[in-house]
Amino acid sequence: MSAVRNETLLQAVTEVARLTGRVALAHFRTRLDVETKRDGSPVTIADRAAEQTARKWIAARFPDDAILGEEFGPEGDPGARRWFIDPIDGTKTFVRGVPLWGTLIGVVSQDTVLAGAVYCPAVDEIVVGALGEGSWWKDARCRVSERTEIAGSTLLTTDIRFVGYPDRAARWSALANEAAVARTWGDCYGYLLVATGRAELMVDNLMSPWDSAALIPVVREAGGEFSDWDGRITPFGSGAMASNGAMAARLRARLGVPWPLSNDPNGVGERGAHLT
């Protein structure tokens, strides 16, 4: 594995996220053929072209590292440090011409997410974070909000239906009734809003590793909390939820989620949530 400082990785995820996002942006609001993948989700030439761009960039600069992308799967030694790519997080949003989609890049070593970037090119916003290096927005450190009560909070999700999980839908509905604002400013943009203090709570039913990996350092290095519905801080979990630190305990209590039990950087070691 390449010995690269987290500070260097912070710069790297910033650069490749911008490059990848700009490729996708060139196709935004153009005529696109939309295909349906086996899992029922849409894909376009924009997704594929953007991911190919990211893969070439990573392979040229970090040849010893492996890659896992949404569109083209795994590449390289799975035991090596890995780069996770979601070229367009929110393709359903993208193909409808709505600007709240983004590019996600995460770097994972063993059980630890080292760095991540969330770039939303259509609204020209990027937040990047790396373990021990902070979370950055508009070239300055960003912080989650300091609100302490759910009654004054902004709560977000991608899809209020929580398909297949009626218990989660019920808990979301109760929480939404308690919050000051409940919106579907979803996909990665919602987590960007939490990390930059413009929303307090974000809850999602389904997440893939290439989604969560980038979000963990972005949210946590901004002072927030991130876990799946089992309380594990891992990109391989069941759904996801993010909060500012002040409301993390309240969010978990409302949703019936345990607190992470481990003390390792991503809180997954003692729960056995290992990369596969």
157 token code pair: 């999700």
pLDDT at 270: 33
Q: For residue 3, what pLDDT is reported? A: 64
**pLDDT on residue 78:** 86
pLDDT at 111: 79
Q: What's the pLDDT at 259?
A: 78
Residues of the chain with pLDDT under 50: 1-2, 262-265, 267-276
What one-character-per-residue DSSP string does the chain give? -----HHHHHHHHHHHHHHHHHHHHTTTTS--PPEE-TTS-EE-HHHHHHHHHHHHHHHHH-TTSEEEETTTEEES-TTS-EEEEEEEETHHHHHTT-S--EEEEEEEETTEEEEEEEEEGGGTEEEEEETTTEEEETTEE--------GGG-EEEES-TT-TT-HHHHHHHHHHHHHSSEEE---THHHHHHHHTTS-SEEEES---HHHHHHHHHHHHTTTEEEE-TTS--STTSSSEEEEEGGGHHHHHHHHT-PPP---STTS-GGGT----
Which residue type is seen at 203? V
Predicted local distance difference test score (pLDDT) of residue 260: 67
The pLDDT, as a whole number, for residue 276 is 27
Query: Whose CA is closest to 117, among 20, 223, 197, 237?
Result: 20
The structural domains of the chain, ordered by start, are: 6-134 (3.30.540.10), 150-271 (3.40.190.80)
| pLDDT score, position 266 | 53
Distances (CA, A) of 86 to 120, 140, 148, 195, 205: 12, 25, 32, 19, 18
Taking every pair of Cα atoms in the chain, the longest distance, rounded to a whole number of angstroms, is 50
Q: For position 274, what pLDDT does the model report?
A: 28
Q: What is the spatial distance between Cα 209 and Cα 149, in angstroms, rounded to a whole number?
A: 30
pTM for this prediction: 0.92
Given this model, what pLDDT does residue 258 score? 86
